[in-house]
A and B are shown apart, each in its own frame.
Chain A
């Protein structure tokens, strides 16, 4: 499968990545190569094989429903660019 320039632009936009126009062609080749590898694996007969959701052969540990984290807002907001009345400020977003 080969990706073209518009695919790369769309993927970059969805990931909010700025890509220099001159590198689009290189990304298209690299990503297409990865998809080709996937396509080769796709050709293998996997009938009866449970799809893997995680490389570790373990299951999720659960924690008890206890509140153990206390308020550290001061600390967290000390590295935020802008805050007011306890809120993080971001450039205006409108739905």
Chain B
């Protein structure tokens, strides 16, 4: 049977505030255990939560960035469950009236297709603390609780079940990750837990409208794991159904070491959350001025920029989407494109040589040893014929390792391309004369021998001969003499 995969994601992104969502304790990562957990975070008797204006402002920015309606009135609710890292016995979240309503984002697939993914809602909530399982604690039989993270502001972004493959899910998650950093609402640091993904995965026979029974895979903290977890889960579900079994709706955990998902039965009964409006918090009412202020300095958004790169610079969708992966990269590209006057060449170099070098060195664009201005200078030397593509790569490598700017390197290492046709003709004539057997083969119709001559010329010129000129001269000299 042909199965269709259906995926929806819930993404918890930590909002970049200094203090917690309902208290004045710090949110800094890596502090000593419980040194940033105040009386409110601990849920001590008599305390009251007071909402952080900045968390609200950041949520509003997100709503506007995905074209969603931002609620003028939203309500905080208690989500009730018991777990040691949740001191109050409930999490303050939003349920029926979230701050951000329906919106959408666009993803670009590997083949350049653009697809819209619906965002159902996004709501503000507080994070829980962290449980540490270490057998040595208390001499054994204990878990340690660190409540520094309790009360950290989160925006939970819930998607529609619009994704049909693990790749689409990854593209969407990356898109949200790009966006939250782009608009400055989260650092998106996945190692530190600032961006965590839950995936709802189900399958159904192709053509069936009704959704299949879904499994929720919790707390995925990398894009690679997201893809693998969904892949595994889809295969598992197919196996169960094709083996005549039935699926149960359940929460599962992805184990990266074994590359599998496992049922978390202990959490099942906890799903009865008994939400109700939190009497400690009044409804959140936002006036138009607050919303206008929150988005006044929103930068050009990635989709808009991508579309502009596509039309203004005539780049393909894929190139345009790669170059708008982050604001820093987009700015870098525009600097190179403007300074060199050749946007397409700039795109090729940035998505090619530069991206590969950054990848190898595990650097972000902001840390690139080759500045945008210097890359533009290099491209200018390709455009004016000083460098062939191959020589340019050599110069790029020298620039990368700090040997100076393009002109300096060309001068010092004598990398100027040979375009003097007289010199090239003399060199090529000598090579042709020295290889009569190959000349004969070529003239007898063995076209492949042409490459041999090009190779000889490049060897003789130390790679500096202008390839187009070499081709033209060789063709002329090798033509049958009649």
A-side interface residues toward B, CB under 8 Å?
A: 13-14, 16, 53-56, 58-69, 71-73, 76-77, 82, 84-95
Give me 15 other A-B pairs in contact (C-beta within 8 A), A69-B39, A88-B34, A94-B133 excluded: A53-B283, A59-B284, A60-B282, A62-B50, A62-B56, A63-B52, A67-B25, A71-B36, A72-B39, A76-B39, A85-B144, A89-B138, A92-B133, A93-B131, A95-B253
Contact check, B284 vs A60: say whether CB atoms are below 8 A apart.
Answer: yes
A67 to B148 Cα, complex, angstroms: 13
Instruction: Indicate if B211 sits at the interface (CB-CB under 8 A).
Output: no
A34 to chain B: closest CB distance in Å?
Answer: 14
Contact check, B253 vs A69: say whether CB atoms are below 8 A apart.
Answer: no
Contact check, A73 vs B53: say whether CB atoms are below 8 A apart.
Answer: no
Residues of B within 8 A of A64 (CB): 53-54
Contact check, A90 vs B142: say whether CB atoms are below 8 A apart.
Answer: yes
Instruction: Indicate if B3 sits at the interface (CB-CB under 8 A).
Output: no
The 7 A-B pairs at the shortest CB distance, nearest first, are namely: A87-B144, A68-B24, A65-B54, A62-B53, A59-B285, A86-B33, A69-B38
Residues of B within 8 A of A55 (CB): 279
Residues 267-310 of B contacting A (Cβ, < 8 Å): 267, 269, 272, 274, 277, 279, 281-285
B311 to chain A: closest CB distance in Å?
Answer: 39
Contact check, A82 vs B266: say whether CB atoms are below 8 A apart.
Answer: no
- How many residue pairs link A and B with beta carbons under 8 A? The number is 138
- Return the chain B residue nearest A62 by Cβ: B53
Contact check, A58 vs B37: say whether CB atoms are below 8 A apart.
Answer: no
SS class of chain A's interface: helix, strand, loop or mixed? loop
* Residue from A13, A62, A72, A94 with most neighbouring chain B CB atoms (10 Å): A62
Contact check, B53 vs A65: say whether CB atoms are below 8 A apart.
Answer: yes
* Residue from B32, B89, B138, B269 with most neighbouring chain A CB atoms (10 Å): B138
Contact check, B56 vs A76: say whether CB atoms are below 8 A apart.
Answer: no
Q: Mark B194-224, 1 if CB is under 8 A from A, else 0.
A: 0000000000000000000000000000000
Contact check, B267 vs A95: say whether CB atoms are below 8 A apart.
Answer: yes
A78 to B162 Cα, complex, angstroms: 51
Q: A87-B132, A93-B143 are in contact. Are A54 and B279 (CB under 8 A)?
A: yes
Query: Quick one: which of A14, A60, A73, A92 contacts B142, CB cutoff 8 A?
Result: A92
A73 to B89 Cα, complex, angstroms: 21
Query: Quick one: which of A16, A87, A94 contacts B145, CB cutoff 8 A?
Result: A87
Contact check, B142 vs A53: say whether CB atoms are below 8 A apart.
Answer: no
Q: A60-B282, A86-B34, A87-B137 are in contact. Are A14 and B272 (CB under 8 A)?
A: yes
Q: A66-B19, A86-B32, A90-B84 are in contact. Are A95 and B266 (CB under 8 A)?
A: yes
